[in-house]
């Protein structure tokens, strides 16, 4: 947990520091390749030192020895050198205190302590099937019910997703996936359009899964769509078991989001819109 939080912080520092995006990304790739999330606190300090000592800015032409060396090592480990696409969002109200991090170019690592066990299970699906790294830490008024905590996690996750996407240049933008889980089959279609919309058509037969109120599934996706700027359609094609239906939904959502957020090589960094803008207006 501590290592993952530090690694998420590393991603966020790389993004916020404005160090030359290539060096920050490749250095992070390098650390991941070598350490695989281990020794992250040392890695974070190393990245902070690197950004201070080189003073690189995006688009800058200077190259120090350390940056060049890091790039060369990273090139050997990975041919892909994209800017780090990660963000951390904190949200604090009288009802909840939530911190959410997402790295869109992760490896499927999840650490979710939401106080809602079934939601933690769903966040595992999001991370592992989307190949995102997801960290959620939440304290909420769950003595009332899970409503506020579920909602605020989704709002923060949507904001983090939007921040990590930045101007949304070069991504596929659209994604869809149909996921089975035994008898359940759920189709998810999404568009990172900048326009929040949810069409939700699940027929969940039971009111609860464990202690989780199944009405919160729709509310989660509505909140996420609102802050991420996503058009989201969820259709149930088959299913009888509530746990299967909801889990198939999160798996399909994860795979659809993975596709939509991934870079389209043929797009060559351009925005996938005839209007030229995908961010929320």
The answer to whether 181 and 244 have CB atoms below 8 angstroms apart is yes
Considering only residues 191 to 250 of the shown chain, the ones binding Mn ion according to CB under 5 A are 247
Q: Is 124 in the site for Mn ion (CB under 5 A)?
A: no
- In this structure, which long-range contacts are made by residues 29-34, counting pairs with CB atoms below 8 Å and at least 24 apart in sequence? 29/74, 29/77, 29/78, 29/80, 29/81, 30/70, 30/73, 30/74, 30/77, 32/107, 33/74, 33/77, 33/78, 34/77
Please state the closest distance from residue 152 (CB atom) to Mn ion, in A. 23
- When the beta carbons of 60 and 180 are compared against Mn ion, the nearer one is 180
- When the beta carbons of 152 and 247 are compared against Mn ion, the nearer one is 247
The answer to whether 67 and 56 have CB atoms below 8 angstroms apart is yes
- What would the DSSP string read from start to end of 63-113? --HHHHHHHHHHHHH-S------EEEEEEE-SSEEEEEEEETT--S-EEEE
Please state the closest distance from residue 184 (CB atom) to Mn ion, in A. 11
- When the beta carbons of 99 and 247 are compared against Mn ion, the nearer one is 247
- When the beta carbons of 130 and 196 are compared against Mn ion, the nearer one is 130
- When the beta carbons of 181 and 224 are compared against Mn ion, the nearer one is 181
Binding residue count for Mn ion, defined by CB under 5 A: 1
> Between the CA of residue 68 and those of 24, 33, 74, 198, what are the distances in Å?
11, 17, 10, 46
Please state the closest distance from residue 136 (CB atom) to Mn ion, in A. 17
The answer to whether 198 and 222 have CB atoms below 8 angstroms apart is yes
Please state the closest distance from residue 38 (CB atom) to Mn ion, in A. 28
Report d(CA 239, CA 204) in Å as an integer.
8
Helix (H, G, I), strand (E, B) or coil at 279: coil
Closest residue to bound Mn ion by CB: 247
Please state the closest distance from residue 235 (CB atom) to Mn ion, in A. 20
- When the beta carbons of 191 and 247 are compared against Mn ion, the nearer one is 247
Q: Would you tell me which residues interact with Mn ion (CB under 5 A)?
A: 247
């Amino acid at each position: 947990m501590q290592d993952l939080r530090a690694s998420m912080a590393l991603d966020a520092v790389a993004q916020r520091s404005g160090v030359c995006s290539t060096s920050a990304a490749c250095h992070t790739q390098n650390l991941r390749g070598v350490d695989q999330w281990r020794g992250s606190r040392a890695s974070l300090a190393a990245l902070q030192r690197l950004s201070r000592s080189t003073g690189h800015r995006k688009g800058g032409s200077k190259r120090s020895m350390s940056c060049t060396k890091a790039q060369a090592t990273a090139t050997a480990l990975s041919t892909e050198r994209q800017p780090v696409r990660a963000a951390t969002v904190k949200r604090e109200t009288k009802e909840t205190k939530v911190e959410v991090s997402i790295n869109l170019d992760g490896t499927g690592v999840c650490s979710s302590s939401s106080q809602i066990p079934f939601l933690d299970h769903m966040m595992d699906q999001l991370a592992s099937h989307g190949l995102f790294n997801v960290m959620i830490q939440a304290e909420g008024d769950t003595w009332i019910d899970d409503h506020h905590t579920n909602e605020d996690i989704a709002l923060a996750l949507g904001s983090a997703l939007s921040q990590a996407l930045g101007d949304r240049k070069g991504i596929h933008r659209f994604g869809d996936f149909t996921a089975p889980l035994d008898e359940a089959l759920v189709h998810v279609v999404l568009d990172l359009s900048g326009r929040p919309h949810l069409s939700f058509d699940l027929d969940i037969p039971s009111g609860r899964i464990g202690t989780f109120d199944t009405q919160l599934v729709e509310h989660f996706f509505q909140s996420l769509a609102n802050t991420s700027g996503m058009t989201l359609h969820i259709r149930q094609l088959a299913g009888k078991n509530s746990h299967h239906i909801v889990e198939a939904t999160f798996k399909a959502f994860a795979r659809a989001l993975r596709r939509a957020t991934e870079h389209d090589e043929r797009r060559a960094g351009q925005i996938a819109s005839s209007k030229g803008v995908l961010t929320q207006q």
